[in-house]
Amino acid sequence: MTCHDVRRRLSPLMDADLALGEMRTVQEHLRECPSCAAELASLRASVEALRSLPRLKLKDSLAVEVRHRIEVESRGPGLALLFRPAWMARPLIFPSLVPAALVLVSILAAVAALDRDPTQVVEHAVAPPAYLAPSGTETNPLFPSEDVSSPQVLTRGDLDGVAWADLPEGSLFVETVVARDGTVSDVTLLQGDSVMARQIMASLRREQFEPGRRRGRPVAVSIYRLISHMEVRASATT
Amino acid sequence: MMATEIALPTDAACGQAAVASRDSAADMALVRACRGGDQAAFTKLVEIHEGLVFNLAVRLLGDGEEARDVSQEVFLQLHRSLPRFEGRSSLRTWIYRIVVNHCRNRQRWWRRRRRDKACALDDISRADEAQLAVRSAGSEDPFAQVARHEREERVRRALDRLSFDHRTILMLKEVEGLSCEEVGEALQLAVGTVKSRLSRAREALRVSLGPWPPEGGRP
């Protein structure tokens, strides 16, 4: 029997769990092999060390606690537990609803902000820049096109009251913004004599129009006009 | 000579068997009383077995509080399943099986939470050990007491390094003194499996413990 065979049998040998013949063979090997004998001694010493560990004991008996828990288990849930309020049954349900409510409020606020009527924008105390105002309003008028009808004059300005005779000859190029209610919201001189323009533009601001429309809704429209003044004299005849 | 030290069944072992048989008869009487609803009998049953339950649990889990908690669970489980106890194995073996199962479950639970390292055997402090151990160290020489503590600490650490299965089989066989058949019943293993696992566990303990007894010390 080799050392390997003997070492495999050391544990059964400790329990006297070997056949008689096998046990004798192992014993003979151990007498002659100090290495295997030392291993058996080491094995026994390890087991003895384990057995020498002190036996641990509870400071207080478990009997009272166990009996109490058995009583609690045998009692069942009880009426107080069965009919407890919902918030006691699920104490975390309300705290968990807070973030959900915040998200909902944020969404509703965003929807309300995006769903405002664009016409209310012009009613702000401080008008937004023209490039931010909705198109079709007085600060950002449209121009006549296929979609936008041109404003039609209802009441002309009092051009007859202008003292034409005192004005020099020339042309004015003006931009008129016709508001959604048909009034003239703005008149701008683009080119021409300012002395001549002063009287004429005051007259143009008093004009009334049928407003331009886009898809049936009145919109502010900008129109450009060229107004010329020239004296016409009869040619001299001889 | 090594061969002369081989332990063979002796009269003392036969005496132990007789005591075990008498204990088993007493246990069965208590079990019958418990089934009849006798709470005092169950209290008596707890008082008789709580020591072995706690000792095994604390060695397997390495934490006094955990072991106390598991011990309570074991007795609750025992109370629930006493009506199903048929007496085919001894009550003690049956209790060992419940303890091992509870400890294994508890260890898995901790491992899932990556805390198995935190409740290693060496976490039982010396103060705990001093409170838990049954001994009268009052008359012991202080140097001998320190040396004994160190030896016990080494053994505890060596035991901690073993796998749960090896620790369990060594505790049941070497410390609790169960036979291979009883260990097989407790762990629900074949006797042959118990013997081979025991052999590997002893070897693992020897390697884990290192040279023993320590240099200049007594075993």
CB B44 within 8 A of CB B30: yes
pLDDT in tens, chain B (219 residues): 333 344 444 444 444 444 455 567 788 888 888 888 888 888 998 999 999 999 999 899 888 888 999 999 999 999 988 888 877 788 889 999 999 999 999 988 887 776 555 444 445 554 455 455 545 455 667 777 788 888 888 898 899 899 999 999 999 999 999 999 999 999 999 999 999 999 999 999 999 988 877 665 544
Q: Do B46 and A47 touch (CB under 8 A)?
A: no
Q: Do B75 and A66 touch (CB under 8 A)?
A: yes
Kindly state whether A48 is in contact with chain B, defined as any CB-CB distance less than 8 angstroms.
yes
> Pick from B125, B115, B201: which is nearest to B162 by CA?
B201
Instruction: Please give the CATH number for the structural domain made up of A152-229.
Output: 3.30.2420.10
2.30.42.10, 1.10.1740.10, 3.30.1600.10, 3.30.413.10: which CATH number matches B14-209?
1.10.1740.10
ipTM for the predicted complex: 0.76
Q: How far apart are CA A49 and CA B213, in angstroms?
A: 8
Sign of torsion over alpha carbons B188, B193, B199, B200: negative
Helices B91-112, B180-187: inter-axial angle, 10-degree rounding: 50
Say which residue, B193 or A129, is predicted with more confidence.
Answer: B193
Kindly report the nearest CA distance between residue A58 and chain B, in angstroms: 6
pLDDT at position A154 is 85
Q: Do A59 and B131 touch (CB under 8 A)?
A: yes
pLDDT at position B63 is 84
Selecting from A12, A43, A57 the residue whose C-beta is nearest the C-beta of B134 gives A57
Measured from the Cβ of residue A217, the count of other Cβ atoms closer than 10 Å reads 10
Sign of torsion over alpha carbons B164, B170, B175, B181: positive
Least confident of A93-102, A143-152, B126-135: B126-135
pLDDT at position B36 is 83
- Average per-residue pLDDT in chain A? 84
CB B173 within 8 A of CB B100: no
Going from N- to C-terminal start, the domains of chain B cover: 14-209
Say which residue, B126 or A151, is predicted with more confidence.
Answer: A151
Selecting from A37, A46, A69 the residue whose C-beta is nearest the C-beta of B76 gives A69
CB B157 within 8 A of CB B62: no
What are the pLDDT digits (tens) for B187-213? 999 999 999 999 999 999 999 988 877
Say which residue, B37 or A108, is predicted with more confidence.
Answer: A108
Q: Do B155 and A63 touch (CB under 8 A)?
A: no
Compare all CA atoms of chain B with the CA of A50 and give the residue at the minimum distance: B155
Strands A217-218 and A213-214: antiparallel
**DSSP codes of every residue in A60-116:** S-SHHHHHHHHHHHHH-SHHHHHT--HHHHSTTHHHHHHHHHHHHHHHHHHHHHHT-
Region A49-69: mean pLDDT is 86
Q: Do B133 and A57 touch (CB under 8 A)?
A: yes
Going from N- to C-terminal start, the domains of chain A cover: 3-51, 79-109, 152-229
pLDDT at position B88 is 78
Question: Model pTM?
Answer: 0.56
Three-state DSSP class for residue A209: strand
CB B27 within 8 A of CB B90: yes
Kindly report the nearest CA distance between residue B79 and chain A, in angstroms: 8
Region A104-127: mean pLDDT is 75
Three-state DSSP class for residue A214: strand
Region A167-183: mean pLDDT is 88
Q: How far apart are CA B67 and CA B75, in angstroms?
A: 12
Q: Do A47 and B202 touch (CB under 8 A)?
A: yes
Q: How far apart are CA A207 and CA A193, in angstroms?
A: 21
Selecting from B43, B131, B195 the residue whose C-beta is nearest the C-beta of A63 gives B43
Compare all CA atoms of chain A with the CA of B9 and give the residue at the minimum distance: A16
Least confident of A46-55, A172-181, A197-206, B50-59: A197-206
Say which residue, A70 or B22, is predicted with more confidence.
Answer: A70
Compare all CA atoms of chain A with the CA of B197 and give the residue at the minimum distance: A11
Going by C-beta distance under 8 Å and a sequence separation of 6 or more, which residues neighbour residue A153? A207, A208, A209, A210
Q: How far apart are CA B96 and CA B83, in angstroms?
A: 18
Q: Do A56 and B133 touch (CB under 8 A)?
A: yes
Kindly state whether A123 is in contact with chain B, defined as any CB-CB distance less than 8 angstroms.
no
Q: How far apart are CA B16 and CA B20, in angstroms?
A: 6
CB A137 within 8 A of CB A178: no
Interface list for A 6-35 with B (CB within 8 A): 8, 10-17, 23, 26-28, 30-31
Kindly state whether A37 is in contact with chain B, defined as any CB-CB distance less than 8 angstroms.
yes
Kindly state whether A63 is in contact with chain B, defined as any CB-CB distance less than 8 angstroms.
yes
Region A141-150: mean pLDDT is 90
Q: Do A56 and B42 touch (CB under 8 A)?
A: no
Is the model's pLDDT at A14 over the cut of 70? Answer: yes
Say which residue, A110 or A192, is predicted with more confidence.
Answer: A110
Which residues from B are below 8 Å from A58, CB to CB?
Answer: 50-51, 54, 68, 71, 132
Selecting from B6, B155, B203 the residue whose C-beta is nearest the C-beta of A50 gives B155
Adjacency order of strands within the sheet including A184-191:
A184-191, A170-178, A221-229
Kindly report the nearest CA distance between residue A92 and chain B, in angstroms: 23
CB B172 within 8 A of CB B153: no
